[in-house]
């Protein structure tokens, strides 16, 4: 069946061209644009904040040896927002959902000698070591097995991956473009929709790198990959074998791990996936005599990934896509993922 991608009328958009530089289909009016989904796209120990809070209530760390300022979380979000609005001109882009963790507390120089009890709000400083955000373009969407997927854009910044005790140098950012499953808010990230090592020194270069990622992303191919997951399934016996092998993988000798594809899920997340196999509201195997589709299994993995910390989230989300794509081939007794189900 020809994949149909629904989108509002818009100017030329290189993201949705096929290999012959033709639009996938004529634009369609889809009616009222829904608001951003309210459930969390990441859980772990994160807290929801606003861009106003990041801008007005948080300090921006500096590189200590030359006192040069870093690119702030808020500037990062604004750079991606600007890039998205340039490329998706005319679309309704939701305000970003922002999650933070690992608050770093400090105090102003004037309050250095005060006791904790004497501190007032203006004496205190804070910033967040890790931040992730996600914004949706709900006018560009697809439906897979009754699940609405909105095109989504976002990024991760983790100051713990910077050497703030040195002189100013390139700073690291992670940016993605993919789809959010509105049934569960799981993020679906593909290889060409993720850049986990953008290194820049200023926001102009950051915007250029973000635009390069957006232009290289093949939305049609990504959707076709996810739709193909509906055509293959695993039995309960194969799921048991998979879970056992995933647990064994964590403890393999290093030389054996090098012979297998990388698997980033933790034991805790594997346990969450196993529990969800029977109990997930949307993607569980409802009858033990029935197989579970790779689409459902994929969503069990991306659901378990929501327990990741911010700085590991995108890599594991992408790894879940690689795992399911590999299992799809392994079912046909092809590829390097056969070890996981045999």
Query: Lowest mean pLDDT: which of 35-39, 223-227, 233-237, 267-271?
Result: 35-39
Inform me whether the pLDDT recorded for 339 exceeds 80. Answer: yes
Residue 141 confidence (pLDDT):
95
Same domain, 164 and 131: yes
Residues 71 and 146 in one domain: yes
Per-residue pLDDT at 289: 65
Tell me the Cα Rg of the chain: 22
How do residues 61-94 score in pLDDT, each as one tens digit?
A: 999 889 999 999 999 999 999 999 999 998 999 9
pLDDT class of 162 with cuts at 50, 70, 90: very high
Distance between CA atoms of residues 237 and 44, nearest Å: 30
Domain boundary among 170, 187, 218: 218
pLDDT in tens, 283-333: 998 776 689 999 999 999 999 999 999 999 999 999 999 999 999 999 988
- pLDDT given at position 121: 85
Distance (Å, rounded) from C-alpha 140 to C-alpha 54?
28
Tens digit of each residue's pLDDT (9 = 90 or more) over 254-263: 999 999 999 9
* pTM exceeds cut of 0.75: yes
Residues 186, 277: one domain?
no
Average pLDDT over every residue of 122-141: 95
Question: Is the domain of 192 the same as that of 242?
Answer: no
Q: Are residues 155 and 277 in the same domain?
A: no
Same domain, 138 and 268: no
Report how many domains make up the chain. 2
State which of 156, 184, 218 marks the end of a domain.
Answer: 218
Rounded Cα gap, residues 1 and 292, in angstroms: 22
Rounded to whole angstroms, how far apart are CA atoms 107 and 122?
Answer: 9
pLDDT tens across 138-160, in order? 999 999 999 999 999 999 999 99
Q: Residue 108 has what pLDDT?
A: 87
| Each residue's pLDDT tens digit, 237-254 | 999 999 999 999 999 999
- Asked if 206 and 334 sit in the same domain, the reply is no
Q: What pLDDT, in 10s, does the model give residues 185-209?
A: 999 999 999 999 999 999 999 999 9
pLDDT attached to residue 9 = 35
Q: Could you tell me the pLDDT band of residue 17, with boundaries at 50, 70 and 90?
A: very low
Q: What is the structure's pLDDT at 95?
A: 93
Query: Which residue range forms the structural domain that includes residue 171?
Result: 14-218
73 within domain boundaries? yes
In a domain, 226, yes or no: no
Which residue, 180, 196, 218, sits at the end of a domain?
218
* Residues facing residue 72 across a β-bridge: none
204 and 236 housed in the same domain = no
Given a cut of 90, whether residue 135 has pLDDT beyond it is yes
Q: Once rounded to an integer, what is the mean pLDDT over residues 216-244?
A: 96
**Predicted pLDDT of residue 117:** 87
Average pLDDT, the chain: 88
52 phi and psi angles, rounded to 5 deg: -60, -40
Check the CA dihedral 283-291-276-134 and report its sign: negative
Please determine, for residue 183, whether its predicted confidence score (pLDDT) is greater than 90: yes
Half-sphere exposure for 303 (CA within 13 Å, toward CB): 24
Residue 4 lies in a domain: no
- Considering the chain, what percentage of its residues have pLDDT values greater than 90? 77
């Amino acid at each position: 069946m020809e994949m149909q991608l629904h989108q509002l009328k818009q100017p030329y958009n290189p993201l949705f061209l096929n290999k012959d530089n033709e639009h996938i289909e004529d634009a369609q009016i889809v009616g009222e644009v829904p608001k951003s989904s309210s459930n969390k796209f990441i859980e772990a120990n994160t807290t929801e904040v606003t861009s106003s809070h990041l801008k007005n209530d948080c300090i921006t760390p500096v590189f200590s040896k030359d006192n040069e300022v870093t690119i702030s979380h808020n500037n990062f979000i604004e750079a991606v927002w600007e890039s998205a609005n340039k490329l998706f001109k005319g679309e309704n882009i939701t305000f970003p959902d922002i999650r933070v963790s690992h608050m770093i507390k400090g105090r102003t120089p004037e309050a250095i000698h005060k006791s904790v009890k004497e501190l007032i709000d203006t004496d205190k400083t804070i910033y967040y070591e890790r931040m992730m955000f996600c914004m949706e373009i709900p006018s560009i969407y697809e439906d897979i097995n009754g699940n609405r997927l909105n095109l989504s854009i976002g990024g991760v910044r983790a100051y713990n991956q910077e050497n703030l005790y040195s002189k100013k140098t390139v700073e690291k950012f992670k940016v993605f473009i993919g789809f959010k499953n509105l049934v569960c808010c799981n993020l679906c990230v593909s290889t060409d929709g993720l850049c986990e090592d953008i290194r820049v020194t200023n926001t102009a270069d950051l915007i250029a790198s973000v635009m390069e990622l957006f232009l290289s992303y093949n939305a049609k191919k990504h959707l076709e990959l996810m739709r193909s997951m509906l055509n293959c399934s695993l039995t309960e016996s194969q799921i048991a074998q998979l879970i056992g092998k995933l647990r064994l993988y964590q403890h393999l000798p290093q030389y054996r791990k090098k012979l297998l594809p990388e698997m980033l899920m933790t034991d805790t997340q594997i346990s969450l996936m196993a529990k969800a196999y029977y109990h997930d509201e949307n993607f569980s195997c409802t009858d033990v005599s029935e197989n579970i589709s790779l689409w459902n299994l994929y969503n069990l993995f991306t659901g378990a990934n929501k327990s990741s910390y911010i700085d590991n989230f995108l890599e594991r989300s992408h790894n879940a896509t690689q795992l399911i794509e590999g299992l799809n081939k392994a079912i046909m007794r092809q590829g390097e993922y056969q070890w996981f189900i045999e």
